Structure 1
């Protein structure tokens, strides 16, 4: 009897405790609510300050989306902030629908104290960043108001639909820089092997294809637009580095491309947040004087800053633009002979604990065996070249050399051929050397696509004609 009484008392205590605690998530989401059984629309009808947006929402005819079968989060600009634009929105049904959908996200998204940025996909396809105190650049007046089919937040200002970067480039055709990038959808700079895409014709644009698809809402970009005078100055300053077959018009177009492609960064920075030095999407260094920014524009996937000053009107500006680049040894385009059983893609670790992968071809029995690398277009300037080549499994030093071949053209009887642009002396590959080694320098008088060949010793002896490469690094020089 005594044990039964103790059990009943314990059970009642647990029940009382659970009633007091309840469901912590339900308590959290229901904070401040008067009737959790109401729908979002019903809640907004009773929300002071939401009537203007609610009327726009109803006029936009989003009943199919907000039918209670899914959960949504609605970001509601208060009446005071939206009143001035309501009449204009009502006059354009397409703009009205886009505006309203830009304030509605699928699923429930609470405002919290986390420092993390959450990307929300809105009904119009735009992706907005939500932080602990704002969404986009707009702050919250009231937050985390629940209902039977989602949440709503009251905002201090409307979330005006923004263009993405590509929409901005194609719409703002007053700038020569934007005109040029748009023209690449139909104009080919050079024979780059880019095949026309039937599924996505815009990816035939060499800027979108090779630099980055700036249409993507989920990605973030910062794009600098040079006013026409500054753009023309930079194009002229870079022209000596892109001498394409001594053809003036083609060289100017390529110079425009190289100037424009290095004015975009894969991260969103407003003017105040711009760092002193940026790395462009093509790997160059970009230093921007904030005082040269005459206009800043927020996009749905980043920012645009308009500059009134040239960036390449001094040696330092050109030096910043001429970025070195690496060619990974384990990514060849072809071999002089097929030796799969003698070819090794190796995972290694340097003395600092950093992992890397290289290629080694060993005991292949071929004199002057070569590994070929099809490289990107090289500028018409001089280059220093370095390699890292790890000789870690042999007891002897071996030698290898580097050969640079020019652009392919029809030779005798139409057979494809390439001119030799540079041939380094045979260079020792010492034991256990993890350091980068200077190989030599060469000069190109024309902008062209080249091939690099890593060449083994002129011997068939095992251990003597080994070739190994972690990477090649090419450093263009200022003229």
Structure 2
């Protein structure tokens, strides 16, 4: 019994010693944490001898006052060794220095433990950096998650230089080939924008406001508006820029598909240039070491990327630019099928909304629900619906199809016409002499209307669905689910 009591007393004493030791260690930990949490970010950075150069830059730029404020920040602080190669011109220029220091500071707190997927952080200078695990851009976080009372310090082994965004590189970098650069810079135009306009009166006839000249428009680039805004720092883009020889080669490839009515060489070159350039950018980063050798443009065009054709890589603040001596896009990939949803028309020859129906139907062939447009008992001779299609190429044959469900006319077929440019044109080869195609009852599949080749490029093509040359209800309906124009190569 005495032995058991002695053993029990020994265990109690041992356990108590462990608790006291653990408490002492926890108190030591708390002392460290408490000291860190009593210091603001700048005091903590200044107290780290390995960050003394960065502390000097913070003071010189005025960011010491920012980091001493009550706001919360994460500071990616480069070591003295990382700053050894910093350009003296940056230190001497207050604007450049402010941008450089601000490129290492972001609002809120970001810990490495919370960066298991890539975070895109907005820095105080307006640029963005990518953080993933213990890395920020190309720098490695060598001392992680160091607390302060108003944020966290991440010590990094490389500085984060301030880079130009993609558009700034196009404008200012002398290594960008001239032909593509000049074309992209030629795409500026003024657009009406009353947001900040100064109103100076009202048009007494129309009742519309009159704005002070020069205040009611903004200058914008067509590439920003229609493709990607390469100035946007919050996103990442990959831009392929062709050498002058490669640009000329692509341009000549697509000129036959961009022929103008007057055979104007400048207009043809302009249309072909747009056809080429609009597919040379993608959203996101293309890694030249990736196994994929094809990317999809915004317009779903397959763009081959021959890694051997990359002659220069330029890193930007919002992506990357590859200068290429070849990008061989195939016409069959660029010139794609055109689908027109018939219910999404632009206008009609006569207002017949009271006779227009938008119908939901189940297609037993595809097993899918579709919506079509049906204009019935409208009483108008040659009534027509207008659509507009952008960028329709010349010199390529298009086959035309529609799905037109006649399930409402008592089993009686009627005729309607698909026409380009004018409502009564006989556009397609398989059409009758009058240009019409029969719409038979209960046909759920595509019907081939014929084929045509446009002699000239159409920046905007008017397409018409035209009813019969009759006022009779059973003779002149219009009905259509969709129209499809399929290029032939």
Superposition TM-score tier, normalisation by shorter sequence: 0.7 to 0.9
Hey, what does 2:227 align to over in structure 1?
211
Query: CA contact under 8 A between 2:305 and 2:327: conserved in structure 1?
Result: no
Helix, strand or coil at the partner of 2:71: coil
Unaligned runs of 5+ in 2: 1-21, 23-30, 194-214
Q: In the alignment, which of 452, 456, 464 is matched to residue 467 of structure 2? A: 456
Q: What pairs with 1:96-175 in structure 2 (closer than 5 Å)?
A: 96-112=97-113, 115-172=116-173, 174-175=176-177
Relative distance call for 1:212 and 1:86 in structure 2 (3 A) is closer
Hey, what does 1:476 align to over in structure 2?
487
Relative distance call for 1:338 and 1:92 in structure 2 (3 A) is same
Relative distance call for 1:270 and 1:32 in structure 2 (3 A) is farther
Helix, strand or coil at the partner of 1:53: helix
Query: CA contact under 8 A between 1:143 and 1:154: conserved in structure 2?
Result: yes
Task: Find the aligned partners of 1:219 and 1:436 in 2 and give their Cα distance.
Answer: 41
TM-score normalised according to structure 1 size: 0.79
Query: CA contact under 8 A between 2:384 and 2:466: conserved in structure 1?
Result: yes
Query: CA contact under 8 A between 1:371 and 1:454: conserved in structure 2?
Result: yes
Hey, what does 1:442 align to over in structure 2?
452
Task: Find the aligned partners of 1:277 and 1:253 in 2 and give their Cα distance.
Answer: 26
Shift of 1:400: 3.4
How many residue pairs are counted as aligned between the two chains?
426
Task: Find the aligned partners of 1:386 and 1:228 in 2 and give their Cα distance.
Answer: 38
Hey, what does 1:422 align to over in structure 2?
427
Shift of 1:405: 0.7
Query: CA contact under 8 A between 2:257 and 2:395: conserved in structure 1?
Result: yes
Shift of 1:101: 1.1
Shift of 1:114: 5.5
Helix, strand or coil at the partner of 2:390: strand
Hey, what does 1:372 align to over in structure 2?
386
Hey, what does 1:304 align to over in structure 2?
321
Q: In the alignment, which of 160, 179, 184 is matched to residue 181 of structure 1? A: 184
Q: What pairs with 1:189-200 in structure 2 (closer than 5 Å)?
A: 195=191
Hey, what does 2:203 align to over in structure 1?
none
Query: CA contact under 8 A between 2:467 and 2:477: conserved in structure 1?
Result: yes
Q: In the alignment, which of 232, 235, 246 is matched to residue 248 of structure 2? A: 232
Unaligned runs of 5+ in 1: 1-19, 21-29, 187-193, 407-417
Larger radius of gyration: 2
Helix, strand or coil at the partner of 1:49: helix
Query: CA contact under 8 A between 2:340 and 2:482: conserved in structure 1?
Result: yes
Relative distance call for 1:114 and 1:147 in structure 2 (3 A) is closer
Hey, what does 1:265 align to over in structure 2?
282
Task: Find the aligned partners of 2:96 and 2:377 in 1 and give their Cα distance.
Answer: 69
Relative distance call for 1:467 and 1:104 in structure 2 (3 A) is farther
Shift of 1:142: 2.5
Hey, what does 1:333 align to over in structure 2?
346
Helix, strand or coil at the partner of 2:188: coil
Q: In angstroms, what is the RMSD of aligned CA positions?
A: 3.2
Shift of 1:246: 0.5
Hey, what does 2:14 align to over in structure 1?
none
Relative distance call for 1:367 and 1:121 in structure 2 (3 A) is same
Hey, what does 2:303 align to over in structure 1?
286
Hey, what does 2:16 align to over in structure 1?
none
Q: What pairs with 1:341-352 in structure 2 (closer than 5 Å)?
A: 341-345=354-358
